[in-house]
Chains A and B, each alone.
Chain A
Amino acid sequence: MSVQMLSVSIRPLLPVIVLLVTGMMVLFMDAFGAEGRESHYGYLGLAGLAIAGWLAFKMWGTHSLSFAHTLITDKLSIITSLIYFLIAGLTILFSPGYLRQEERNLAEYYALILFAVVGLVFMTSAQHLVLFFVGLEVLSISLYALAGFVRQRDLCNEAALKYLFLGGFASAILLMGMAFIYSVTGSLYFQDVARYVIHSHPSVALLLGIVLVLVGFFFKVSAAPFHAWAPDVYGGAPAPVAGFMATAAKVAVFGVMLRFLGMAVYPLKVHWIAVVTVVSVASMVIGNFAALRQDNIKRLLAYSSIAHAGYALVGVAAASRQGGAAVLFYMLAYSLMNLGAFGVVSLVGRKGERYVKISDYAGLAAKHPVLAAAMAICFFSLAGVPGTAGFMGKFYVFASGVRAGQIPLVVIAVLNSAVAAYYYLRVVYMMYMEEPKEEYVFTIHPAAVIALVIIVIGIFQLGLIPGGVLSASYSSFAWFMS
C-alpha cells in the first residue's frame, strides 16, 4: 500500500460526522435541556439527516477510496446513504406521536436512530469486511436498544432479548466466515479477495467462509431458513422501530451482499448462485405461506418482509449489474411501502399496541378514509399491483432474473406473488368491506401525516415514472463484474 493509504480525507465522512454530531447534541441537550420538549429532538435529528443527505448528494458522481482503502465513496454508497436518511427521517416522523402515547418520549431514541444510520452508512461504504462488521455491530447494538425501547412492555423486551441472542449468534457466524476467508486469502479487502479468487481454485475452506458470511447476510435480511427471529422481533418491537429494522438493515445488507458477491467472489458465482437461489425460493415460500394464516398484522408484515427478501434475492441470483440495480430499486420501493404499513400500524395500534389484529382494522375506511387509503396503497404496492412502486420493483427484479436465464426461479417468484396477494387483500377487505366493530379513537400526529404523504407520493412516483431512480441505481452498479 502506498502513501495514499495514509492520506486521510475527511470529506467522504462528512455526512457521517454530521449525524454523529447531531446525535451527540441530542443527548447533551436532553441531559441539560428543559423537560417536555423531547419530540423537538426528533426534528433536530431530521435537520441533521437533511444536512447529511445534502452533503451526500453533493458527492454524487465522485469516487474515492479512503482510510487505507477500507472506505469507498461511490454511487452505491451514496445512493444507499440517501435511502437510509430517507428511512430514518420517515421513522422519526412516525415516532413522536407514538412515543408520546407510550410515555417513552426520550431523546435517546432519536440519538440511537442516528447512530444506527451511521452504522448503516459504514456498512455499505465498506471495502473491507471488518469495516462492514463494525458498521453492522453499530447498527445492531442500536437496534437491540431500540427493539426493547418500551421496556415495560413484555413483548417488547422479549423481542429485544431474541434479537440480541440471535443477532449476536449470527454475527459470530459471520465473523467465523470472515476468519475462514482470511485464512485462505490472507486479506479481507474485497479487491484482495477478488484477486485471490480469480487466480486460484476455490478451496473448501474458502467456500465455507463465503457460506458462513452469506449466512450472516441472510440472517440480517431475514431470509429463510434464517428468518425465524423476524416475526417475533418485528412483532414485539415498537411499530416504528420494526419498520426501521425491516427496511434499513435489509437495504444495507443487500448492498453489502452485492458488493461482496459481485466484486469479491464473483468468479465463484456458480456456487453462490445456487445457494442464493435455494434461499430465495425458501424465503418466498415460507414467508408467503406462513403469512396466509396470520391474524397479527405486525407478524403478517414480518412474514411478508421475509417473502420480499426472497424476491430481492432473485435479483441477486441474477448475478448481473442489472440484477444489482433491480435489488437496490426494489429495496427502496419495499422500504417505502413497508414503512408506510408499519407507520399506519403504529397509529392504529394505539397505546401499548393493543390493536394489532387484522380484525382491528374492520371498517377503518369508513372512519379514517385517508388513513385507510394510505394503508391500502401500501398494501397494493406490497402485493405488486401495477402503478405502484411494488410492481416496478418486482418487475425489474424478475426482469433481471429472466434475462439471466433464471426463468424457473422467476416463475416460482411470480406464482408466490399471486399467493401473496391473498393476505394483502385480506387487510384491504377488512378496512373497506367490513363494518367497523368499535370506535376508532386515536390522534394522528401531524408528523405522521407528513410521512404518509411522502410515502404515498413516493410509491406512485416509483410506480409510474421510475426512470430516474432506475437509471441512478443502474449506474451505481457500474463496478459489477461480468
Chain B
Amino acid sequence: MKLWVLGAVFIPLLGAAVNGIFLWITKKKAHLIAVPALFASCICSLVVLSKVLGGAHADFDLYLWIPVGKFVVPVGFLIDELSAVMLATVSFVAAWIHLYSIGYMEHETPRGYAKYFCWLNLFTFFMLLLVSANNFLLMFVGWEGVGLCSYLLIGYWYEKASAANAGMKAFVTTRLGDLGFMIGLFAIYKYYGSLMFANVFSHASILSSSLITVITLLLFVGAVGKSAQFPLYVWLPDAMEGPTPVSSLIHAATMVTAGVYMVARCHALYNLAPFSAEIVASIGAFTALFAATIALVNNDLKRVLAYSTISQLGYMFIGVGVGVYAAGIFHLFTHAFFKGLMFLTAGSVMHVLHGELNMQKMGGLIKKMPITGWTFVVGALAISGIPPFSGFWSKDEILAGAFFHGHPVVWIVGTFTAFLTAFYMFRLIFLTFFGKPRDAHLYEMAHESPPVMTIPLIVLAIGSALAGFFALGPHGGIVGFLNKTLGETVAHGKEAAGVGHLLLIISVAMGVLGIALAYSMYIRRVPDPVVMARTLRPIYTLLYNKYYVDEVYFAFIINPLVGGSRYVLWKFMDVAIIDGVVNGIGRLCRLVGSGVRQFQTGYIPDYVWMILVGAVVIYWIGILF
C-alpha cells in the first residue's frame, strides 16, 4: 500500500526532476519521460483505490519534517476513501491531459516543450501531495505548490504581456486566500496543538463553536482564493492565457477543486460550525449564479468555459456547504471529466484555428472536426444535467441535498443556475459547431486534430458520459463509499423519494429548457440575440463587462496601494521624514561647528578675555558645589 501511494505521488516528481535538470537533453523528447510517469502514477493510484475499495486504509509518515518542541509535522500520507478517489481522479485526468499535450504543444521550442512537461509533472505531484497529505501543513505545501505551477504555466507564453500579468494575478490573488488559510492553520495549531488531521478531527469538538467558526471561515478564505469563488474568482478567467491543456487540467479538473476537497476534508470542523457551513453554501450559490450570468454573453470560447467552471465550483461548495460532502466530491469527480473534456475540445478547436477563440467567428465546425464536436456535445449534455450523463447525477445529489438540508433558497438558485448553464453551454455549441460558418477563412483551415489529441477526448467523453453510474453502485455507490470517510449523517435517499423525484424532474426540465432556448435563439434566431442585446443594453453591457469587478479592484485597492506606497510611504515618510531627520542631525552638528569656530578670532587679547572669563565661570561653579 505505502509503496503504491508513494509511487503515485512521487513518480511525477521524478519525471519533473528529470525533465527539469536534463532540460537540454530531453528537449522535444520530454514527453517520453513525462507521459509514462503520469500513467504509472495513474496506475498506482488506481491500485490504491482498489485496495481502499477492499476496505484498506493507510496513515503513515515518510519522515519527520519540521519538529520544534510540540510542533511536529511529518511528511506523511493519509489514504482513505476521499483521498483515494481524489488520487484516482487527479492522476487519471492528468494522465490523459499529458497525452493530449503532446499533440497540442508540438509547435513549441524544444526548451519550452521540456519545460512545459516538467512543470506539468511538477503540478501533478503537488496536486497528488495535496490530496494525500495527512496533515494540514503538508496539504498547504501541495496547496502552494499547485499555485506555483499554475503561475508558471499560465505565464508559459511569458512574452505575451497578458499571459505574464495573468500568471502574477493568479498567484497573488490565491496567495491572498492562502493568507486566510495560513492564519487558519496558526489558529488550529494554537487551539488544537497539532496540525495532524487525525488529532485535529478526532478532538474537533473540544473547542467552542465560535472558535471553530473562526477557524473554518479562515480556512474557507483559502478555499475561496484557490477555488475561484466570489470575490477572489477574478484570476481564473485571466488564467485562460495559459496553454489550453493547462486550463483543462489545472483550472478545471484539479487545482481549482482543491478548495472543495479541503472543506470536505475538514467536514469534522464544518459540521461543528453551522454558520461557516451556511457561508460556504451561500458563497457557493451566489458564485454559481454570478458566474453563470457572465458566461451568458461572453464570446470567448475559453472564457465561457472558465466562468462555467467558477459556476460549477459554486455548485460543489453548495454541496459541501449544505453538508452533503460526498455529493460535492462526486460533482468534483464528474466535473473533472466533463469540464476537462470541454477544455480539451476547446483546445483542439484553438489548435486547428491557430488560437482563434471568438466563437462569433466560428460555426459549423462539427463537419470539419466531428470527434471534437461530438465529444464536446457529450460534455455539454453532462454539465447541463441531462440524464444519463454524469453531471445529472452529481448535480442532482447536490440540489437534493440543498433542498433536504433546509436551504430552499440555495436550491432555487442552484436550479435556476442549472437552466443558465444549459443555455450558455448550448449557446456555445450552436455558435461553434453548428449553424453556418461565419468566417470562411477560419472554416477553411479547420480540420480534425491528430489522434494523440482525439484519443484523450474520447476517453474523457466516455468518462463524462458514464461516470455518473458510479452513483448506482452497491450501498450508495460512490456517494456511499465516500460517506465512509465523510460520514454524512442524514441519509435523505429514501424517506423523501417522492419529493426527490420531483426535484429531479425539475432540474432536468431546467436543463432541457435551457438547451431549447439556446437552440431557438442561436439556430432559429427567435428571439434574435442581437436584438435582445440591444433591447436589454444596460444589463447586457454590465454582464459583458463582467460587472466591472476588475476595474473596481484596480480603482479601489491596487492603485491606492501602489500609489500610497510610492508617494506617501517611500517619497514622503522614508526619504523626507525619516532620512530627513537623520541627515538633519548631521547638518545640525556642522552648523554648531561653524558656530563654535567663530570664537577663534586669532586675536590674542580676545583669547586672554576668554581665559579670564572662563576662570571666573569655573571658580563660580567650584564655589557653587
Contacts and interface: CB of A to CB of B under 8 A. Distances in A.
Direct contact of A and B (CB under 8 A): yes
Interface of A: 161-162, 165-166, 169-170, 173, 204, 207-208, 210-212, 214-215, 219, 224-226, 228-229, 231-232, 270-275, 278-279, 285-286, 289-293, 419, 422
B615 A289 contact: no
Contacts, number: 89
The 7 closest A-B pairs by CB, nearest first: A225-B614, A292-B593, A228-B607, A274-B625, A289-B593, A211-B619, A290-B596
Contacts of A275: 618, 621-622
Contacts of B618: 211, 214-215, 275, 278-279
Contacts of A270: 625
B625 A225 contact: no
Interface in B578-606: 586, 589-590, 592-597, 599-600, 602, 604, 606
B610 interface: yes
A225 B604 contact: no
A170 B611 contact: yes
B623 interface: yes
A130 B474 CA distance: 121
B608 interface: yes
A95 B596 CA distance: 33
Nearest to B592: A289
A219 B597 contact: no
B615 A212 contact: yes
25 contacts: A161-B604, A162-B604, A165-B608, A170-B611, A173-B615, A210-B622, A211-B619, A215-B615, A215-B618, A225-B613, A225-B614, A225-B617, A228-B606, A228-B611, A229-B607, A232-B600, A271-B625, A274-B625, A275-B618, A278-B621, A285-B596, A289-B589, A290-B593, A292-B593, A293-B594
A289 B622 CA distance: 26
B624 interface: yes
B586 to A, nearest CB: 8
A293 B593 contact: yes
Contacts of B607: 162, 166, 228-229
A101 B50 CA distance: 102
Contact of A166 (B592, B604, B621, B624): B604
B622 A272 contact: yes
B610 A290 contact: no
Given A274-B625, A289-B593, A226 B610 contact: yes
A392 B181 CA distance: 55
Contacts of B604: 161-162, 165-166
Contacts of A161: 604
Interface of B: 586, 589-590, 592-597, 599-600, 602, 604, 606-608, 610-611, 613-615, 617-619, 621-625
A79 B625 CA distance: 34
Contact of B590 (A173, A210, A292): A292
A219 B619 CA distance: 15
Contacts of A286: 596
Contact of B600 (A165, A210, A231): A231
B608 A169 contact: yes
A166 B608 contact: yes
Nearest to A204: B623
B533 to A, nearest CB: 71
B619 A228 contact: no
Contacts of A204: 623
Contacts of A162: 604, 607
Contacts of A292: 589-590, 593
A66 B6 CA distance: 97
Contacts of B602: 232
Contacts of B622: 207, 210-211, 271-272, 274-275
Contacts of B619: 207-208, 211-212
A272 B600 CA distance: 27
B589 A228 contact: no
Contacts of A225: 610-611, 613-614, 617
Contacts of B593: 289-293
Nearest to B612: A173
Contacts of A293: 590, 593-594, 597
A219 B612 CA distance: 11
A298 to B, nearest CB: 14
B536 to A, nearest CB: 73
A382 to B, nearest CB: 17
A292 B219 CA distance: 60
Nearest to B601: A228
Nearest to B598: A290
Contacts of A210: 622
A169 B624 CA distance: 26
Nearest to B624: A274
A81 B607 CA distance: 31
Given A165-B604, A274-B621, A173 B594 contact: no
Of the candidates B610, B614, B622, B625, the one having the most CB atoms from chain A within 10 angstroms of its own CB is B622
B625 A166 contact: no
Given A170-B611, A225-B614, A228-B610, A289 B621 contact: no
A284 B201 CA distance: 70
Contacts of B614: 215, 224-226
